Structure 1
Amino acid sequence: MRSIDLNADLGEGFGRWTLGDDEALLDIVTSANVACGFHAGDPSTMNRICLAAVERGVAIGAQVGYRDLAGFGRRRIDYDLGELRDDILYQVGALEAFCRAAGGSVDYVKPHGALYNTAAVDDGQASAVVAAVRAYDPALPVLCQPGSALARLATVAGLTVVGEGFADRGYRPDGTLVPRTAAGALIDDPKLVVAQAVRMVVDGEVVTPDGDVVPCQVASICVHGDTPGAVELAGQVRAGLVDAGHTVAPFVTWRA
């Protein structure tokens, strides 16, 4: 049986505003991408998620994003690259404090939203992510899109790259995600979501809305915590992966 990781973006509330059912998702996923306070999240939320994740044996990743609370980190920002590196380093360090207090540690780094999409195609911003991870801990894996600029530059820099596929997002022929503003960006049929996740894991490929088959070798599947019905959908994806003959476990344990 092959192992596969299942991750979700968690801790994306802020103050009195909550988003998603973090605790329920932590009972399903094996890795938690925790918002570090720039695109979402706050200290108390980070602390709560870290405690719950450690208790359940869920790996913790720093989900680093643009300094953009109002836009939820989904608006591209053309940063000075040194400033972007420092902002990422700051976020990882902040999450590490709460991980340590909970008896755990930051296990990997994953960009969020517009930073994720930009670092997939922009060598400059990808290099800032790589520089921050190398400065903090070169042993930390980077969770990102296979074949992306970030994956390429992280590999050249000697970092561990973990390929990620999205169960509920549409893909373009070049392997990038369909922008959220375009038709076909989101898949809302649970059967199609499960089928896409299984196909990426079993066959290493994904089908675009126009029917093109695109290579997509992944070690982790992402389900979005802010999707309506996210908990039930994540459970169905996990069940589908198990039914396809896979063990669902944190990639930091079976890739070590």
Structure 2
Amino acid sequence: MVRLGIAMIGVLFFQASISQAQADDWSGFSFGAYTGIGLSHNSARSVTFNESSFGSAQSISGDDAEWNGGFAISASWQMQSTVLGVAIDFDPFGTTQQIECRLSWAAGWDSNVFVSDEGLGSCARDVSWSASIVGKLGWLASDSTLLYGLGGWTTSRIRQSFEWPSSLDSSSQTLSGVTVGGGVEHRLTANWHLSVEFRATMFEAKSVSGVSKELNAPQFTEIGGDVETVRFGLTYFVPWR
């Protein structure tokens, strides 16, 4: 009977040791969701013309704050106080951003009558979706708190449109750029983690060639910009062992 009691105590102690090891282990797989607010610094310009008409747009102020969110999966490996990781996230919801633009229009070049106009208007930018893959390098400030830096790549599908003049058609392009940042991740329980993160993405500028339907003429558009985002994430963590 005594031996049985000792054996039971040993089993309970062994199980408690395993549970504690799993609770303190940052090697595992995570999946969850995030939301945040991003400040976009957008740029856009477009021009179209034929033998008798001309239209153009140039962004003059591109800062716009928008809420965003999506889903994320990640894997991490702990080596003493260092944690290496890789994460993939996807925002299927997108955002609509407004850019103030200087817009101009002219007509009558091939006649004796010349009409021109210039003013301020809105250049709307619809971000259809965004996806990114980043690597993470972290340090355990405690058993339950991880400080980390990150770096990787982000891709977004963007549709740029112009409120006025109507001779400018909308243009779509997929922009990509380098993403850098850092954050703090805290273990709420053995499986639930909460994180606060800052990311900055510098998108490359891309040119798009198209045709203005109104003028039946070539249209050239350049889209660019970058975005800074503060994100809050909640993930479910599953240890490797």
**Structure number with larger C-alpha Rg:** 2
TM class, shorter-length? under 0.3
**What's the TM-score once normalised by structure 2's chain length?**
0.21
**What's the TM-score once normalised by structure 1's chain length?**
0.20
More strand by share: 2
